[in-house]
Amino acid sequence: MNVPTPISPLLDTERAATELHVSSSFLNKARLTGDGPRYVKIGRAVRYEPSEIALWLAGRRRNSTSQKVATSQK
């Protein structure tokens, strides 16, 4: 018997921004430039997977102010 795997809840832009402590405007601009977390388009709706937000955050960790940010996943 095949049991469907549970799908993690998807976050809309406002909720993702709240989780990241940034503005929705920041995420909107980051989508345009490709600098933000990966997202999913469902029709016209933009949704973020919590695991993608965590990966994006991990890629932005630094040890010093002179260290460059890792290039985004494209």
Domain assignment of residue 71, yes or no:
no
CB burial of 20-54 (b: ≥16 within 10 Å; e: otherwise) equals beeeeeebeebbeeeebbbbeeeeeebbbbeebbe
pLDDT higher than threshold 70 for residue 25: yes
Domain assignment of residue 33, yes or no:
yes
The SS3 assignment for 22 reads coil
Domain assignment of residue 66, yes or no:
no
**74: which 2 tokens?**
């494209």
Domain assignment of residue 52, yes or no:
yes
CA distance 71 to 31: 14
pLDDT per residue as tens digits for the range 33-52: 999 999 999 999 999 999 99
Domain assignment of residue 68, yes or no:
no
Domain assignment of residue 54, yes or no:
yes
pLDDT higher than threshold 80 for residue 70: no
pLDDT higher than threshold 90 for residue 2: no
Domain count, the chain: 1
Containing structural domain, residue 36: 13-59
Band (pLDDT 50/70/90 cuts) for residue 5 is low
> Residue 74 has what pLDDT?
46
> Residue 8 has what pLDDT?
74
Question: Could you count the other beta carbons within 10 Å of the beta carbon of residue 9?
Answer: 9
